[in-house]
Amino acid sequence: MPASGKPGETFGRVAEAYARTRPPYSAEVIERAAQELGLTSESTVLDLAAGTGNLTRALRDVFAHVVAVEPDAGMRAQFDGEVLAGTAESIPLPDGSVDAVFVGEAFHWFDAERALAEVRRVSRGLAVVSRSWGEIEQPGLLPPPFWAELNDVWKRFHTGTREDFPDWRDVVRPDGPVRFEHTVRISGRDLVDLQMTGSTPASLPDDERAAIEARAYPLMDDEYQMRVRTELYWLRF
């Protein structure tokens, strides 16, 4: 069956599961970014490509003023609080309006040169938080039949390997990374739903995605300890 959407542009299809299952951001990561960028609790920061607000909530715990921008209407519908419609390549803010821009799990979707120019226009610093979890980070986490289905879906959208994609770091040339690791408890059902919020499963037709989930749920244990690995990059302007 052919793919039905372009990865990175269909997260709104899985917005409810995305909001419910994506792991929270560690305060340790936010605090380290603040240290590297010279931010204080009174700083104004932007969460760019904010998704359903996961990183935004963590930023609100640290900073007095947090602005959020997200392009996908389905993701914005899950948001708690104000979020602006906009993209990394056209940020809907005036010049120099924030002290720093935070990007969580999204910079690889941007046109890196255009996005970097916009980030420079509106701010004096950038923090990029990259995270990973699942079978690649924790071999044996997922039942083999479910992992095989996820791999088959990935291959439908990509001809190379996961290492073949352009690297945003070649354009941005940030400092870092500093690496963090923590473990979260997650139910088997939520672990399935989390995996299906990845860019390629999110690009499947809803009925096909639901069928994969229905096959995976009976294979899962009641609860899992899932490793979350985080890399923090930053750049002062």
Q: What angle do CA 128, 131, 135 make, to 5 degrees?
A: 160
Nearest to 146 by CA among 67, 220, 78: 220
The structure tokens listed for 112 are 């890196």
| Cα–Cα distance, 132 to 136 (Å, whole number) | 9
Contacts 24+ apart (CB under 8 A), 165-169: 165/108, 166/112, 168/107, 168/108, 168/110, 168/112, 168/128, 169/233
Per-residue pLDDT tens for 92-143? 999 999 999 999 999 999 999 999 999 999 999 999 999 999 998 999 999 9
Give the three-state DSSP class for 124: coil
Residue 160 pLDDT grade (very low, low, confident, very high; cuts 50, 70, 90) = low
By mean pLDDT, which of 23-27, 101-105, 154-158, 230-234 is the weakest?
154-158
Q: Rounded to an integer, what is the distance from CA 174 to the centroid of its chain?
A: 18
pLDDT at 161 over 90: no
Mean pLDDT value of segment 3-17: 80
**85 neighbors 70 (Cβ within 8 angstroms):** yes
Nearest to 73 by CA among 60, 59, 87: 87
Residue 2 pLDDT grade (very low, low, confident, very high; cuts 50, 70, 90) = very low
Residue 162 pLDDT grade (very low, low, confident, very high; cuts 50, 70, 90) = low
pLDDT at 62 over 50: yes
Per-residue pLDDT tens for 179-213? 999 999 999 999 999 999 999 999 999 999 999 99
Nearest to 190 by CA among 142, 155, 148, 229: 142
Q: Rounded to an integer, what is the distance from CA 57 to the centroid of its chain?
A: 14
Q: Cis check for the bond before 94: say yes or no (omega within 30 of 0).
A: no
Residue 78 pLDDT grade (very low, low, confident, very high; cuts 50, 70, 90) = very high
The structure tokens listed for 154 are 């990935």
Start-to-end CA span in the chain (Å): 47
Please, what CATH class does the domain formed by 11-132+161-182+225-236 belong to?
alpha beta
Give the three-state DSSP class for 132: strand
Per-residue pLDDT tens for 46-57? 999 999 999 999
Instruction: Check residue 7 and give its pLDDT.
Output: 72
Instruction: Check residue 6 and give its pLDDT.
Output: 72
